[in-house]
Structure 1
C-alpha cells in the first residue's frame, strides 16, 4: 500500500514538472521576451522569436542591433528614444531572414534630430544615420514611425525579398530655419526584390534614392518637402557591377512641396554602370520649386558640372502619366542633360504646368519632345 502511494505521489510530481514550460517556452510566453532595458537586448534576441520592445531608451553612441533569429516577430510599443552622441551610427539596425517587424499603434522611433541639426547635414557636427535594414527571405517590416532623423533616415542595404509597408518617416520639424539637411527618406543599395508601399516621407532630401538595385517596386509613396523620387548611380568606383540599377518601378506616387519631382543623376567620375528598365508611372506633382523631371549625366564630387559623360547609359526609361504643377520662380518642368550616345529607348508622357522657364534638353532620345 505504501509503495503504491509513493508511486502515485512521484508520478503526480513528475507530471507537474513535465507540464512546466521550458526556458525558451517561458521566454516566448511573456515578460522575459519584452525588452524595456538596453541591457536585455542581447539575451532576449538570442533566446526569443516573439519579441516586444516597449518604451526603450537607447544610450547615445550605441546601436540597437537587432540580429533576429529566422522567423522572429518583433513589435515596437510606445516610444523608443535614441540618446544623443556625435558618431556615424546607425542608431538602429535590423537584420534577419523571414522576420516580421511591426510598429504597434502609436509607437515611435525617435532619433532626436533637433539636437543635431545645424543646417549642414553631412557636414557640421557629426550626426548618426538612423535605421539600417539588412533582411531577406520574405521579411516584412510594417507600421514603423521614424521620427526626426539626425541625417539619412532608412538605409535599405543588402536586402533580398523584403517588403516595407506603411512606414511614416517624418523629419518635417527639420524645415524650421532650414536646419534639417541630408535627411534622405529611403536609400537603397545592393538590394534585390524589394517592395516599398503605402508609406509617407516628409524630409529635406531625396524621398527615395536608388543607388544600386534590381527588381524594386515603390508604390503609393507620398513625398513632401524634399528632393523627390531619385536615382543616384555611379558613386562606387570599384566596378561596373557596383553601379547597376535595373527593373526599378515607381507607381502611383505623389510628390508635393519639393525641389524636384523626379531626379535621375549619374556620376561621371565613377566606374561604368547601367540604368535599364526603370519606370515612373502615374506620378502626381504639386508645389515643385526647381525641376519637375530632372535627368542629368554630369555629376562629379557631388555636384553638377554641365559636362555630361556616357559612362552610365540610361536605356529603357519610361516616364508616363506624370502630371502636376510648378511654383518656383526659376522652375523648369523638364531638364535633360544627356551625353552623346548616353540615353536611348525611352517612353515619354509628361504634362507639367506652371513652370516659369522653358524646358531644356540635350541629346535626349528623338521621341522625347522637349
Structure 2
C-alpha cells in the first residue's frame, strides 16, 4: 500500500522531540524502520508503517500504547531474535485500530529454531506469537504469518474482526512443530474470524471462553480441528457460529471438549456446512473427559447445540463420530445431515437421542 506524506527516516528524531500537544493537533503518518523508535513514536502516529522490523531476542513488538484509531501497516519482512521465553512476539491493544500489511509482506516467526516435538509441554520455552488483548472495536486483516514457534493468535477482545489472515506453519510438519494453535479465544465478546487460511499442527480454532463469536469460511489443513474448549474452571462459551469451512488432512474435524470433574457451560453453539477430508482420529467428537480419559462427568452442561450439514471422510483407523457425555449433561441438540464415513463407529455414552454415533 502506498502511504502519502509519510515521515522520512530523517524526520523521526524531530517528531520524537516535538511537544505532544503539537503532535496531537495534526495527523501524523510515520514510517519506522528501527525497532528502538517504536515505543517513542507509536502513541503519536495515526498511520504507522513498520518496515522490515527486526525485534530483538526476548522482547515484544509492543503496540499497546497506540493513538485511538491508529492504522498499523506491516511492510516487508518482520523478524524476531531467538530467545527461550514465553513471549508474545507481537502484542497489540487499543480502540478502533486497524492492523494490516502491504502486499508481499510476511511476519516470519522462524519457528524451526524452537521446534522440538514438545510444543508447550516441555523442551525449549517457546514464545507465543501474537497477542490481541483489549483490542476493541478493531480489525486485523490480511496478515500473512509464517512458522510460529508455538501458539499463533491469542484473542481476548470486544468487537474485533479478524479477516483474511494466513497462518502457514507447513514447514513444521516434518520439523517438530507442536501446539501451534492458530486462533485461541478467551474472554471475547462479538468476535468474528473470517476467511482464514491455516496450515498448522494443533487446533485451527479453540474457543475457551466467550460470547457471540463467529468463525466463517475458514480453511484448516493439518490441524486438530475447529474446537470449543477445552472448557472448565467455571468458564462459559455461548452463542457461537462456526460455518462454511473446510477441514483437510487433520486429526479432528469439529469438536467440543470439556474437562472432567469441573464446572462451566457450553450453550447455543452451531456447526453448519463443514466439509471434512481425510480426518485421522475423530470426524465429529463431543467429549466430557478431556483431562481424564474414560471419566466423563456432568458438571459442565452442553446444550442447545446444532450440528447441520457436517459431511466428509475420516480414515479407517479413526472414528466417524464420538459422543462421550456425562449423565444428563448433553441435551437440546439439533442433528441434521451429519454424514461422515470411512472410519469406525465409536461406543458412545449419554448422548441425546436425536444424534447418531453410527456412520451415515
TM-score (norm 2): 0.90
Deviation of the 1:136 alpha carbon? 4.2
Q: Return 38-47 or 206-215, whichever deviates more.
A: 38-47
> In 2, Cα distance between the equivalents of 1:231 and 1:47?
39
* Aligned counterpart, 2:278: 287
Note if contact 2:230-2:290 (Cα within 8 Å) is conserved in structure 1.
no
Structure 1: stretches of 5+ with no match in the other structure: 1-21
2:212 corresponds, among 211, 215, 231, to 215
Q: 2:28 aligns to what SS in structure 1?
A: helix
Dislocated runs of 4+, deviation >3 Å? 22-27
Deviation of the 1:214 alpha carbon? 0.3
Instruction: Encode CA deviations 1:240-275: one digit per residue, 9 max, x unaligned.
Output: 3xx1000011010100000000121101243x2100
2:296 corresponds, among 308, 318, 323, to 308
> In 2, Cα distance between the equivalents of 1:103 and 1:346?
42
* Aligned counterpart, 1:317: 305
> In 2, Cα distance between the equivalents of 1:204 and 1:43?
37
* Aligned counterpart, 2:111: 113
* Aligned counterpart, 1:93: 91
> In 2, Cα distance between the equivalents of 1:162 and 1:139?
5
> In 2, Cα distance between the equivalents of 1:88 and 1:201?
22
Q: 2:290 aligns to what SS in structure 1?
A: strand
Distance 1:62 1:251, change over 3 A: same
2:341 corresponds, among 331, 344, 353, to 353
> In 1, Cα distance between the equivalents of 2:23 and 2:188?
37
Which structure is higher in helix share?
1
Instruction: Encode CA deviations 1:128-170: one digit per residue, 9 max, x unaligned.
Output: 100010244420110111111100011002x000000000011
Structure 2: stretches of 5+ with no match in the other structure: 1-21
Instruction: Encode CA deviations 1:299-339: one digit per residue, 9 max, x unaligned.
Output: 22xxx421100111100010110011112x42111001001
> In 1, Cα distance between the equivalents of 2:279 and 2:162?
26
Aligned length in residues: 333
Larger radius of gyration: 1
Deviation of the 1:369 alpha carbon? 2.2
> In 2, Cα distance between the equivalents of 1:121 and 1:57?
24
What does 1:125-164 correspond to in 2, within 5 Å?
A: 125-157=124-156, 159-164=157-162
* Aligned counterpart, 2:170: 172
> In 1, Cα distance between the equivalents of 2:134 and 2:143?
15
C-alpha RMSD of matched pairs (Å): 1.4
Q: 1:132 aligns to what SS in structure 2?
A: strand
Q: 1:345 aligns to what SS in structure 2?
A: strand
What does 1:165-314 correspond to in 2, within 5 Å?
A: 165-177=163-175, 179-235=176-232, 237=233, 240=234, 243-270=235-262, 272-300=263-291, 304-314=292-302
> In 2, Cα distance between the equivalents of 1:91 and 1:269?
35
Note if contact 2:93-2:136 (Cα within 8 Å) is conserved in structure 1.
no
Note if contact 1:286-1:324 (Cα within 8 Å) is conserved in structure 2.
yes
Q: Return 161-170 or 63-72, whichever deviates more.
A: 63-72
> Residue 339 in 1 paired to residue 312 in 2?
no
